[in-house]
Amino acid sequence: MTLSIKPETAFPFYLIHYTTHKKQLIIHCLKPDVQILTSNGLRIPVHTGILASVSPVLENIIDRPHKHHSSEKIIPILGVPCDAVSSFIQFLYSSRCSEEELESYGIHLLALSHVYLVPQLKHMCSKSVGQRLSTENVVDVLQLARLCDSPDLYVKCMKTLSSNFKAVEKTEGWRFMQENDPFLELEILKFIDEAESRKMRTRRHREEQRLFMELSEAMECLEHICTEGCTAVGPSDMDPTNQRGPCNKFSTCEALKTPLVNLRPILILAGFHFAGNSS
Ligand SMILES: [Zn+2]
């Protein structure tokens, strides 16, 4: 099937005002001079000047001398839905991509932006695809992120995968990957393992911090009881009613009361001086 479409009907975005000045000049002064061929046979007339200014890969293809000496220049972009190619071309012209297009063709546009080296679109797609991760698609997207060299999306997939592993393990995508890409499976299991150890380390560190804080407060209270005396705990030879106000660490002081009474002789021997105590 070959469809010939008039540029103005196929791409009203030619005239969209947010194209750059240079692009507007090309659009208004030159006729489309190359056609993009899509997988269902649709031909989209486009301007080489625009394609080359946005994608160095397309620039190379355009500059390459073509084998067939026909006057017609055709660049096939196959393997993705026709509408995804239209959205891609639209981005080359306008540097814009709608939310609907990203939702429908995000993964295809990610692949196209990687292959044709269009970093702005790649960034938009990585972000958008990352926001739409689900248990069902995360393995496929992970593979794509790896192929398209998209580290942000890769890490996001790994994190989603490791926190929903039980559910992901039951999906078709996981089983297919297990059979066809054992290295990726190993990579995922290693990531999950490391994430678990990281979590354990953080938990242990937090627990140590908590203990340290408790110990340090107990030491402070111990010193304060021994030197100033606490509201109700104070040194036995000092009248608690002499205290200035309620102690702000009273619960700790109170908890220290019993051991302190028992330990008092030892503490005195160890050099602690209780307020009002001459020994
Ligand atoms: Zn106190």
Domains in the chain (CATH in brackets) are 1-132 (3.30.710.10), 191-269 (no CATH)
Task: Examine the pLDDT at 80 and tell me if it is beyond 50.
Answer: yes
**pLDDT (average), residues 264-271:** 72
62 exposed, middle or buried (CB, 10 Å; 0-12, 13-18, 19+)?
middle
The H-or-E segment that residue 34 falls in is: strand 34-38
**Distance between Cα 204 and ligand 1 center (Å):** 30
- CA terminus-to-terminus distance, the chain: 106
**Distance between Cα 258 and ligand 1 center (Å):** 14
Task: Examine the pLDDT at 3 and tell me if it is beyond 50.
Answer: no
Strand partners, 34: 46
- pLDDT for the residue 245: 63
Which residues touch 221 (CB under 8 Å, ≥6 apart)? 230, 249, 252, 253, 256
- pLDDT for the residue 1: 40
**Distance between Cα 273 and ligand 1 center (Å):** 16
Q: What is the C-alpha separation between 175 and 195, in angstroms, rounded?
A: 22
**Distance between Cα 242 and ligand 1 center (Å):** 13
273 or 83, which is more confident: 83
**pLDDT (average), residues 18-39:** 79
| Mean pLDDT (the chain, rounded) | 84
pLDDT digits (tens, 9 = 90+) for 61-77: 988 876 665 567 899 99
117 or 277, which is more confident: 117
Task: Examine the pLDDT at 51 and tell me if it is beyond 60.
Answer: yes
Tell me the whole-structure pTM to 2 decimals. Answer: 0.68
Q: What is the largest CA-CA distance in the chain?
A: 111
- pLDDT for the residue 241: 55
**Distance between Cα 233 and ligand 1 center (Å):** 7
